[in-house]
Amino acid sequence: MAHKLFIFFGCLIPALICAVTDFKTHLIPNKITLPMLAAGFVYAVAAKNLPDALLGFAFAGGVLLVCALMGGAGGGDLKLAAALGAWFGFRNALWILLIGSFIGVVWGSWNLAKQGRLKARMLLFFRGLFLEAVYGMKGAMILPKLPEDPEAPVPPEAVPFGTCLAAAAWAVWGALFF
C-alpha cells in the first residue's frame, strides 16, 4: 500500500501538474520534472528496482530524445518521459509511450480534422512514405516540426504530448494497482 502512495505523490501528482501546464502553455517546467526524476531513482533504490528504473529511464528518454532531435517533441516532453520511465521501469514505460502516442495521434488527427487539413496532411504523409519506401527518395516524407524558439507561437495542430504521457501514466498505474 505504501508504494502506491509513493508513486501517487512522487510521480502521478507531478505528472498531472505537468499535464495541465503543458495543455495550457505548451511548456513543462524543469522545477517539476527534474525533482520527479530524482524521486523516481530514490524510489527505485528503496524498492530494490534500480536496474529496471535505469532501463525505463534510458528507453523512454531515448525515444523522446530522437523525437526531440527530429523537431517533434520538446525538452519538457523528453524529461517527463524519462522521469516516468524511472518510476515505472522498462515494460511499463513502453506501455506509457504506446498509450501516450495513441492519445497524441487521435488528438492530433482531431485537431487537423477540425481545421479541415486532415486529408491533405494524410495524402502528403502517405505520398512521402511511398516515395521513400519504393524509390528510396530521402526527405520525401515531410513532417511538421515544433518551432526552435520557445517564444515563437506554437502551431495550431500541435499536441501537448506531455499531457498525453501523463494520461497514459495514470492509465498504466490504474491497470497495475486496481
Between CA 48 and CA 55, with CA 53 as vertex, the angle to 5 degrees is 130
Is residue 173 situated within a structural domain?
A: yes
pLDDT of residue 53: 99
pLDDT of residue 44: 98
pLDDT of residue 18: 99
Q: How many domains does the chain have?
A: 1
> Which of helix, strand or coil describes residue 167?
helix
pLDDT in tens, 139-158: 777 778 888 887 888 888 89
* Domain hosting residue 102, numbered range: 2-116+160-177
Is residue 92 situated within a structural domain?
A: yes
Find cell 515563437 and name the residue.
152
Tens digit of each residue's pLDDT, the chain (178 residues): 678 899 999 999 999 999 999 999 999 999 999 999 999 999 999 999 999 999 999 999 999 999 999 999 999 999 999 999 999 999 999 999 999 999 999 999 999 999 999 999 999 888 888 888 888 888 777 778 888 887 888 888 899 999 999 999 999 999 998 8
Q: Which residue from 72, 63, 50, 96 is spatially nearest to 146, judged by alpha carbons?
A: 72
Is residue 97 situated within a structural domain?
A: yes
Burial class (CB in 10 A: 0-12, 13-18, 19+), 65: middle
Q: What is the spatial distance between Cα 29 and Cα 80, in angstroms, rounded to a whole number? A: 10
pLDDT of residue 100: 99
pLDDT of residue 3: 83
**How far apart are the two ends of the chain, measured CA to CA in Å?**
12
Is residue 142 situated within a structural domain?
A: no
Is this model's pTM higher than 0.85 or not?
yes
| Start-end of H helices in the chain | 2-7, 13-25, 30-46, 50-69, 75-114, 118-135, 161-177
Q: What is the spatial distance between Cα 57 and Cα 84, in angstroms, rounded to a whole number? A: 7
Is residue 23 situated within a structural domain?
A: yes
Is residue 40 situated within a structural domain?
A: yes
CB 53, CB 86: distance < 8 Å: yes
CB 21, CB 27: distance < 8 Å: yes
DSSP string of 98-113? HHHHHHHHHHHHHHHH
Is residue 133 situated within a structural domain?
A: no
Is residue 122 situated within a structural domain?
A: no
